[in-house]
Structure 1
Amino acid sequence: MAGVQLTDVIKRYGETQVIHGVDLGIEEGEFCVFVGPSGCGKSTLLRMIAGLEETTAGKIEIGARDVTREDPAQRGVAMVFQTYALYPHMTVGENMGFGLKMNGHPKSEIDAKVGEASRVLKLDPYLKRKPAALSGGQRQRVAIGRAIVRGPEVFLFDEPLSNLDAELRVEMRVEIARLHKEIGATMIYVTHDQVEAMTMADKIVVLRDGRIEQVGAPLELYRDPDNRFVAGFIGSPSMNFVTGTVRGGAVEMPSVGLTLTPPVALPPDGTEVVVGLRPEHLEIGPGDVLGVELTEALGGVSYAYLTASDGERLIVEERGDVRSSEGDRVGLSIDPARLMLFDAGSGARLR
């Protein structure tokens, strides 16, 4: 195992810069997830660590070694891709051991490493099968097993669950989290799905436009985001945002019928701010301020989609036996301590 250190890492394609001076430390044995919208640079950053993309400037270290200019094969990493890339004419066992075979390892060593990886991934019943006889989740486990047998210092995952259906994605999230706990390796995982990030990571790195917006533990980012982008990206359903105006030491939100005094230092009267409201922190009550456009009943929880007077839409989580219905006119309430305020221009959090 080894940690990974990125120091002022930059990537350019010609005149276009896509990674902007990234500084990041990943501890030995840590499960770190890069998350962000499409085009934010997360896969590019992962490929730079792997050596599949050349680093324009800066330094990449794995363990105590500077690997910035080293070939991928010399870096001590193994990568699991979105596509399984299995050889269809080989069995599961042959696919898992093929890399070692090509590097001239003895058969006894290959068999031992394939056997151990198979045990960890619960693939023993399938070792003699070919990929066509496997499910999507089983094929992805074979691809992970192929990485395990190499004994890398760092595992790299590039959206490995994107091709799986919803049920299999949940199953494989559990499998990968269990694998991390069992082998204790350093893992860097790329996804655009913040649910994957929240459920699997020790550390989340939120990226936007090739820059790091915030780094922290999942609940840290959820409870204490630094800016509007992170607040809106982390959490499912997403945070609601409404426009507010500071007046008399309080924040007026006429579109949702609320005037509240949050426990933060407010800017001068007349300043426009953006107010963040988590769906699970809002409560629906009597009133005639918002209309219920749609409700999604999911059993133990429902989501009410409300329309404010200015046309803004909000989502409210509801539990219990009494829930709102489409066409209702309602009001909202929330504990002022639950509000998050953001600068209307920069999006920075007001604390």
Structure 2
Amino acid sequence: MSGVTLNKVIKKYGDVQVIHGIDLEINDGEFCVFVGPSGCGKSTLLRMVAGLEETTDGQINIGTRDVTRMDPSQRGVAMVFQTYALYPHMTVKDNMGFGLKMNGHPKAEIAEKVAEATRILKLEQYLDRKPSALSGGQRQRVSIGRAIVRGPEVFLFDEPLSNLDAELRVEMRVEIARLHKEIGATMIYVTHDQVEAMTLADKIVVLRAGNIEQVGAPMELYRDPDNKFVAGFIGSPAMNFLEGVANDGAVTVPGMKASFDGVIAPAYSGKKITVGMRAEHLMVDPGGDTHTVEMTESLGGVSFVYLTGDTGERIVIEERGDERSAEGARVGVSIDKSRLYLFDAETEARIRT
């Protein structure tokens, strides 16, 4: 097994640059997730590691080897795609062993590696079936099994669960997490779904417009985002953002009709501030009269209350317990000031005090 290092990696299509000098180190055995909105460059970056996209400039190392200009077959990687790409006329067993067969591996070796992948993925009862007789989740497990039998140094996953329904996505997340624990390989996983990223990753790389916004462990990014983009992207529901103004160490938030003292340096006085608040840190004040309850989304043990303020701002608050806010009710909103996230309204950079 090996780690992956990217050094000032650039990708251009003609005069258009889509990856802007990425520096990144993924440790041996780490599960690293590239996450970001559509068009941010996450799949392009993954395909550059795989060798499916040419690197315009910079260097890619797998272990101690410089693989920047190597053929994909020489890089020691295996890729699992969004589409299963299984041969419809072959059985599960033949699909998983086909790559080794084409490379001239002995039948006994192929059988042994297919049997091991089958055990890991619990596919024993499906070996003689063809893809048409499998569910979407089972087909994706076969696709992963095909990668396992190759014994790669690095596994690459390009949005492998996006074609599955919600229940199967959860099931396959558990399968992939268990697979990583069992084989301990380095894995790079691309998704636009931040829930997948938070669930699976040892390390998350948040990308925007071909640049890295922040790298860190899931809860590190959730609790300590560097900027408004990361704060809004990591977490479900998304962080609430309201406009505020700093004045002599306090931040006034008109949308809450509230002011918070001692939360910002006096040097920021007069500057516009974006105030971020997580749904679970906010509380509904039934005795208040600043917001209207538009909808309550009940999920059983937890509910999300959607509020609209008098000036049109929207806030989502998490509620627990048996009591739920009634639609149409007038309420107030409160929060412990230590739970506020402050961002410069112009640069969107985090203001830490």
Q: Which TM bucket (shorter chain)?
A: over 0.9
Cα deviation for residue 328 of structure 1 reads 0.6
* Conserved 8 A contact 1:258-1:332: no
**What pairs with 1:24-173 in structure 2 (closer than 5 Å)?**
24-173=24-173
Cα deviation for residue 264 of structure 1 reads 4.3
Partner of 1:296, secondary structure, is strand
- The 2-side partners of 1:273 and 1:187 are apart by 39
Q: 1:124 to 1:266 in 2, by over 3 A?
A: farther
**Residue 213 (structure 1) aligns with:** 213
- The 2-side partners of 1:113 and 1:154 are apart by 17
Which shows bigger deviation, 242-251 or 104-113? 242-251
- The 2-side partners of 1:127 and 1:105 are apart by 20
- The 1-side partners of 2:322 and 2:348 are apart by 37
Count of residue pairs brought into register by the alignment: 351
Cα deviation for residue 262 of structure 1 reads 5.3
- The 1-side partners of 2:197 and 2:265 are apart by 32
- The 2-side partners of 1:192 and 1:266 are apart by 39
Q: 1:262 to 1:316 in 2, by over 3 A?
A: farther
Cα deviation for residue 259 of structure 1 reads 1.1
Partner of 2:246, secondary structure, is strand
* Conserved 8 A contact 1:11-1:17: yes
After superposition, the C-alpha distances for 1:169-213 in whole angstroms (9 at most, x for unaligned) are 000000000000000000000000000000000000000000000
The code of the aligned residue for 1:273 comes to: I
The code of the aligned residue for 2:119 comes to: R
Cα deviation for residue 267 of structure 1 reads 3.8
After superposition, the C-alpha distances for 1:29-88 in whole angstroms (9 at most, x for unaligned) are 000000000000000000000000000000000000000000000000000000000000
- The 1-side partners of 2:260 and 2:48 are apart by 47
Cα deviation for residue 150 of structure 1 reads 0.2
* Conserved 8 A contact 1:157-1:188: yes
**Residue 235 (structure 1) aligns with:** 235
* Conserved 8 A contact 1:276-1:340: yes
Cα deviation for residue 322 of structure 1 reads 1.7
**RMSD of equivalent CA atoms:** 0.8
The code of the aligned residue for 1:12 comes to: K
Which shows bigger deviation, 254-263 or 282-291? 254-263
The code of the aligned residue for 1:177 comes to: A
* Conserved 8 A contact 1:304-1:324: yes
**Residue 332 (structure 2) aligns with:** 331
- The 2-side partners of 1:266 and 1:123 are apart by 63
Cα deviation for residue 28 of structure 1 reads 0.2
Q: 1:244 to 1:267 in 2, by over 3 A?
A: farther
- The 2-side partners of 1:38 and 1:346 are apart by 22
Which shows bigger deviation, 20-29 or 266-275? 266-275
**Residue 319 (structure 1) aligns with:** 320
After superposition, the C-alpha distances for 1:256-311 in whole angstroms (9 at most, x for unaligned) are 12211354435432211000000000000021101111111111011111001221
* Conserved 8 A contact 1:204-1:218: yes
- The 2-side partners of 1:319 and 1:262 are apart by 30
- The 1-side partners of 2:198 and 2:266 are apart by 31
* Conserved 8 A contact 2:239-2:276: yes
* Conserved 8 A contact 2:251-2:263: no
* Conserved 8 A contact 1:246-1:267: no
* Conserved 8 A contact 1:265-1:350: no
Q: 1:43 to 1:167 in 2, by over 3 A?
A: same
* Conserved 8 A contact 1:256-1:309: no
- The 2-side partners of 1:248 and 1:341 are apart by 15
Q: 1:130 to 1:266 in 2, by over 3 A?
A: farther
**Residue 201 (structure 1) aligns with:** 201
**Structure 1: tracts of 5 or more residues without a match:** none
**Residue 259 (structure 2) aligns with:** 259
Asked if 1:296 is matched to 2:306, the reply is no
- The 1-side partners of 2:2 and 2:268 are apart by 50
* Conserved 8 A contact 1:280-1:317: yes
* Conserved 8 A contact 2:232-2:239: yes
Asked if 1:270 is matched to 2:270, the reply is yes
**Structure 2: tracts of 5 or more residues without a match:** none
Which shows bigger deviation, 262-271 or 49-58? 262-271
- Return the TM-score normalized by structure 2: 0.98
- The 2-side partners of 1:237 and 1:137 are apart by 27
Which shows bigger deviation, 119-128 or 244-253? 244-253
- The 1-side partners of 2:266 and 2:108 are apart by 69
The code of the aligned residue for 2:332 comes to: G
Cα deviation for residue 16 of structure 1 reads 0.2
